[in-house]
């Protein structure tokens, strides 16, 4: 198929008729496939089935009976493993439940109700704003919306968020209290923050003394095609004179079992004191039995890395299928552009402007559900209605093939209609 911008109206009309005929054939198959969320496939989860019975003892290394109360910060061996894996000092780590999203939500609530760094609680301010690199993670944006926090869209670049814009906004508006970051294999584009970006985030001037970076390193060990190293955000913030700036989040949700993972928050010693103060009232301790079971199963940092190599081998054929089909069906057509990620869980694609919603609708009407258009932007408002997130992990290869055929067909149909409306 030649570039759509080079086709005459007569050629476009003939192409539309051909595409509509093909589309109706897919509709007649009555498929029901779901590529809307980045969930592990059953075959991926099966690689960790040994975890279910991996508990030779319920006693922690210090003799603690994990079935009982106590150890608010989490098991020592759990903190030690993540310290080794992520290069974070043990004393900065607090282990939570199975969900890092839960810890992010709690962190926002603490700042809203009690403030941070001795500053006024955010709920007592006239306005609270967050910088939101976009395309980004819809659940981050949902937290802000739930809390009434105004979101400011910041464009992404190949090295991370547009730092010129971030620095200017943060330096001049004291209502800007925080920023979301998925620094390695970002959701959905797979972008990795450069060393310069991390350094600038750590050193930049902010009008708000209690500005916080919510550093969601969800895909920190999820390498698929190449391994990228992420510069230490704690070191960058300390070098920049802002040691309390980052709240760091991580979990094993996409390493072992999403429903029974282990999550953590890490921060500066001063921030950890604040977190512990509230946690002491909030809980008597998270699930230490699951912490111990997980650590006994993973063993150490190298055990995690070995497991991730196996998971990558399981996932890579699905990404290969998606990327190869996009190139074959949409390459050099002018209908779409996309980014090949080196890791993470998604493929981000941009349709022609003002075609994403129609693409999703057409795909769904043919039996394939994708993440809604606009979901990767604050308030679900993609200004150009073009970004779409493809989540290849959950379906089998046999299901993914027709799903992507329908997706590519939907992109073509939406694009042809848009082009016909312009000439």
Residue-level pLDDT at 54 = 66
Instruction: Quote the CA–CA distance of 22 and 43 in Å, as a whole number.
Output: 32
Strands in 90-194 per DSSP E: 93-95, 129-134, 150-157, 160-161, 176-181
Instruction: Quote the CA–CA distance of 351 and 333 in Å, as a whole number.
Output: 11
Residue-level pLDDT at 109 = 98
Q: Quick check: do 4-30+305-422 and 58-300 share a fold? A: no
Residue-level pLDDT at 385 = 98
Instruction: Quote the CA–CA distance of 415 and 231 in Å, as a whole number.
Output: 40
Q: Which CATH architecture has domain 58-300?
A: 3-Layer(aba) Sandwich (3.40)
pLDDT one-digit tens code per residue, 345-395: 999 999 999 999 999 999 999 999 999 999 999 999 999 999 999 999 999
Of the chain, the end-to-end C-alpha distance in Å amounts to 19
Mean pLDDT (the chain) is: 96
pLDDT one-digit tens code per residue, 13-52: 999 999 999 999 999 999 998 999 888 988 888 888 888 7
Angle between helices 397-422 and 301-330 (to 10 degrees): 40
Number of other CB atoms surrounding residue 355 within 10 Å? 27
Topology at the third CATH level for domain 4-30+305-422: 3.90.1150
Question: For residue 3, with 0-12 CB atoms within 10 Å meaning exposed, 13-18 middle and 19 or more buried, which class applies?
Answer: exposed
Structure tokens at 94: 């607090």
Burial 206-235 (b: 16+ CB within 10 A, else e): bebebbbbbbbbbbbbbbbeeebebbbbbe
The ranges assigned to domains in the chain are: 4-30+305-422, 58-300
Instruction: Quote the CA–CA distance of 377 and 409 in Å, as a whole number.
Output: 24
CA atoms within 13 A on the CB side of 177: 23
| CA distances, 257 to each of 50, 79, 252, 300, 369 (Å) | 11, 19, 7, 17, 23
Which residues does 25 contact at the CB level (< 8 Å), separation at least 6? none
Contact 418, 352 (CB under 8 A): yes
Strands 93-95 and 336-338: unpaired
Under-70 pLDDT residues of the chain: 54
Strands in 33-163 per DSSP E: 33-35, 93-95, 129-134, 150-157, 160-161
């Amino acid at each position: 198929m030649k570039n759509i911008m080079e086709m005459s109206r007569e050629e476009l009309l003939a192409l539309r008729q051909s595409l509509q005929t093909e589309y109706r054939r897919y509709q007649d198959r009555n498929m029901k496939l779901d590529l809307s969320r980045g969930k592990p496939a059953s075959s991926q989860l099966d690689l960790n089935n040994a975890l279910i019975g991996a508990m030779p003892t319920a006693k922690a290394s210090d003799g603690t009976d994990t079935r009982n109360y106590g150890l608010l910060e989490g098991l020592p061996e759990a903190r030690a493993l993540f310290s080794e894996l992520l290069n974070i000092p043990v004393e900065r780590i607090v282990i939570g439940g199975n969900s890092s999203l839960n810890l992010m939500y709690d962190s926002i609530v603490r700042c809203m109700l009690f403030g941070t760094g001795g500053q006024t609680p955010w709920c007592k301010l006239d306005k609270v704003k967050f910088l939101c690199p976009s395309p980004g993670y819809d659940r981050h944006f949902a937290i802000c919306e739930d809390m009434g926090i105004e979101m400011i869209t910041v464009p992404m670049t190949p090295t991370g968020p547009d730092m010129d814009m971030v620095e200017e906004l943060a330096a001049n508006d004291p209502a800007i209290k925080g920023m979301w970051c998925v620094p390695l294999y970002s959701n959905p584009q797979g972008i990795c923050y450069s060393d310069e970006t991390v350094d600038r985030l750590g050193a930049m001037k902010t009008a708000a003394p209690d500005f916080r970076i919510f550093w969601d390193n969800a895909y920190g060990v999820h390498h698929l095609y190449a391994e990228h190293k992420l510069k230490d955000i704690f070191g960058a913030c300390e070098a920049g004179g802002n040691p309390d700036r980052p709240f760091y989040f991580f979990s094993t949700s996409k390493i072992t079992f999403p429903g029974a993972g282990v999550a953590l928050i890490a921060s500066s010693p001063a921030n950890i004191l604040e977190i512990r103060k509230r946690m002491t009232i909030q809980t008597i301790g998270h699930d230490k039995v699951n912490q111990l079971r997980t650590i006994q199963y993973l063993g150490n940092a190298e055990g995690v890395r070995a497991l991730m190599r196996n998971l990558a081998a399981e996932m890579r054929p699905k990404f290969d299928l998606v990327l190869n089909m996009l190139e074959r069906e949409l390459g050099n057509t002018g209908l779409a552009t996309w980014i090949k990620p080196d890791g993470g869980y998604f493929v981000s694609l941009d349709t022609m402007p003002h075609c994403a919603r129609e693409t999703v609708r057409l795909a769904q009407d043919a039996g394939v559900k994708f993440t809604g258009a606009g979901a990767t932007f604050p308030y679900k408002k993609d200004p150009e209605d073009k970004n779409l997130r493809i989540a290849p992990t959950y379906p089998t290869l046999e299901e993914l093939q027709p799903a992507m055929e329908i997706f590519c067909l939907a992109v073509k149909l939406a694009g042809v209609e848009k082009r016909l409306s312009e000439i």
